[in-house]
């Protein structure tokens, strides 16, 4: 059994607490660590770091974590802590990563790695030059719905894939009405704090499209700030300076065109908060977060346009849900286990800071496309 110290920074936030501390690191500890090929087990030993000692103490107590501190330098100076992980809000990421890399730590972090491509690329180079292992969260790749889609694709279900339509979003309350509290942090709607739909979600769409459909070669994007004022955690009104919706088309080197609508101002009447419709010559699929529905050419109904009568076809019929053939672990946990093996036994790990930078690149080009009203090439 080997123990490995992991600094979890900015961990009292939404993602840090739920996905990384509870559902990943603590879940890995509960299952007895990560099993290595030689039969031994790697046990992550977290130390929680942040600015607020009371919050950290409360979080540590609630989850039975022994180590926490507001003294990040001390945590970085301790050779027991081999990995530094950051889930703080985006603008703080690079300075934290720089400190950790300078201390010789392997680094792993949430996306986006930065708000500017040059910075995202620079930190990837700094990590590479220092020779430390590095990674960026690309969790959507391990969602059960996406893994089911990949199975269909590998089995040739789609024939030639023609087009992809991603519909992402839901209604995020403005905080205006007491009975409807906000359900996302207010910094998400302020550009100066690293917020914005494009920087948040186009990072995800980059690795989703690159890995599933083809490398993104061009983007056209129209952004909007549909709601100009929201209310923060303290109930105070603030100006929304970041985009809250983005309507984008991505071209790929396989010829598959991908469209993604992303919005925090839409009410949901579809199968999930993210659905990706994939249409191919032989079959189609609707990919949700956990589920995936497929319709083969042989059972495709034959609609005839006639607005004078109610549709004789139930368009939800003739879709088959891909069954759960295995237990799907939490997507963040799966990637954590891979990163831990990468550090411990040099197992391959493709989702580096350099890969993360590609997401920031696409976000930056999407914003430029919106500002300039034109298609942007995505250089490789």
Ligand X SMILES: NC(=O)c1ccc[n+]([C@@H]2O[C@H](COP(=O)([O-])OP(=O)(O)OC[C@H]3O[C@@H](n4cnc5c(N)ncnc54)[C@H](O)[C@@H]3O)[C@@H](O)[C@H]2O)c1
* Residues engaged in binding ligand X (CB under 6 A): 10, 12-16, 50-51, 87-90, 92, 110-112, 137, 139, 185, 187, 200
SS3 (DSSP) at 338: helix
Q: Specify whether the CB–CB gap between 370 and 223 falls below 8 A.
A: yes
Burial of 77 (0-12, 13-18, 19+ CB in 10 A): exposed
CA 276 from chain centre, in angstroms, equals 15
Report the nearest approach of ligand X to the CB of residue 302 (Å).
39
Distance between CA atoms of residues 172 and 67, nearest Å: 35
Phi, psi for 344 (deg, rounded to 5): -75, -45
Give the end-to-end CA distance of the chain in Å, rounded to a whole number.
Answer: 42
Nearer to ligand X by Cβ, of 51 and 61: the residue is 51
Nearer to ligand X by Cβ, of 140 and 370: the residue is 140
Nearer to ligand X by Cβ, of 13 and 163: the residue is 13
Nearer to ligand X by Cβ, of 90 and 366: the residue is 90
Return the bridge partners of 245, or none.
224, 263
Sheet bearing 283-287, strands edge to edge: 320-321, 292-296, 283-287, 274-280, 161-169, 257-263, 245-252, 216-224, 376-377
Q: Specify whether the CB–CB gap between 47 and 8 falls below 8 A.
A: yes
Return the bridge partners of 161, or none.
280
Report the nearest approach of ligand X to the CB of residue 204 (Å).
7
Report the nearest approach of ligand X to the CB of residue 59 (Å).
9
Nearer to ligand X by Cβ, of 256 and 357: the residue is 357
Report the nearest approach of ligand X to the CB of residue 371 (Å).
22
Report the nearest approach of ligand X to the CB of residue 222 (Å).
22
Nearest to 184 by CA among 199, 192, 198, 174: 174
Nearer to ligand X by Cβ, of 203 and 256: the residue is 203
Query: Tokens for 227?
Result: 């709601």
Nearer to ligand X by Cβ, of 152 and 242: the residue is 242
Report the nearest approach of ligand X to the CB of residue 49 (Å).
7
Report the nearest approach of ligand X to the CB of residue 103 (Å).
16
Report the nearest approach of ligand X to the CB of residue 139 (Å).
5
Q: Looking at beta carbons, which residue is closest to ligand X?
A: 13
Give the H or E element holding residue 163: strand 161-169
Nearer to ligand X by Cβ, of 112 and 283: the residue is 112
Q: Specify whether the CB–CB gap between 208 and 274 falls below 8 A.
A: no
């Amino acid at each position: 059994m080997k123990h490995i110290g992991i600094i979890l920074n900015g961990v009292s936030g939404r993602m840090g607490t739920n996905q990384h501390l509870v559902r990943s690191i603590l879940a890995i500890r509960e299952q007895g660590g990560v099993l290595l090929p030689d039969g031994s087990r790697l046990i992550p030993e977290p130390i929680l770091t942040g600015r607020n000692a009371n919050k950290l103490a409360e979080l540590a107590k609630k989850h039975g974590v022994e180590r926490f501190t507001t003294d990040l330098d001390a945590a970085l100076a301790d050779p027991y802590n081999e990995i530094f992980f950051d889930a703080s809000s985006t603008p703080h990421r690079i300075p934290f990563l720089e400190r950790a890399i300078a201390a010789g730590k392997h680094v792993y972090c949430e996306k986006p790695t930065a708000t500017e491509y040059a910075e995202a690329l620079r930190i990837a180079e700094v990590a590479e030059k220092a020779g430390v292992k590095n990674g960026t969260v690309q969790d959507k790749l391990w969602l059960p719905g996406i893994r089911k889609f990949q199975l269909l694709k590998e089995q040739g279900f789609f024939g030639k894939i023609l087009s992809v339509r991603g519909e992402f979003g839901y209604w995020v309350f403005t905080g205006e009405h007491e009975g409807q509290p906000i359900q996302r942090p207010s910094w998400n709607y302020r550009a100066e704090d690293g917020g914005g739909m494009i920087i948040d979600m186009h990072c995800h769409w980059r690795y989703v499209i690159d890995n599933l459909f083809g490398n993104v070669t061009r983007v056209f994007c129209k952004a909007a700030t549909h709601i100009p004022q929201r209310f923060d955690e303290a109930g105070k009104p603030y100006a929304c300076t970041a985009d809250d919706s983005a309507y984008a088309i991505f071209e790929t080197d396989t010829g598959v065109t991908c469209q993604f609508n992303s919005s925090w101002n839409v009410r949901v009447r579809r199968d999930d908060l993210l659905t990706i419709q994939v249409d191919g010559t032989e079959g189609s699929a609707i990919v949700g977060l956990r589920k995936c529905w497929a319709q083969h050419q042989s059972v495709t109904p034959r609609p005839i346009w006639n607005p004078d009568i109610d549709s004789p076809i139930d368009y939800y019929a003739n879709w088959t849900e891909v069954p759960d053939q295995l237990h799907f672990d939490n997507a963040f946990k799966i990637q954590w286990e891979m990163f831990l093996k990468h550090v411990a036994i040099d197992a391959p790990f493709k989702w580096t800071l350099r890969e993360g930078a590609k997401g920031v690149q696409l976000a930056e080009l999407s914003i430029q496309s919106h500002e300039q009203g034109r298609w942007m090439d995505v250089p490789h």
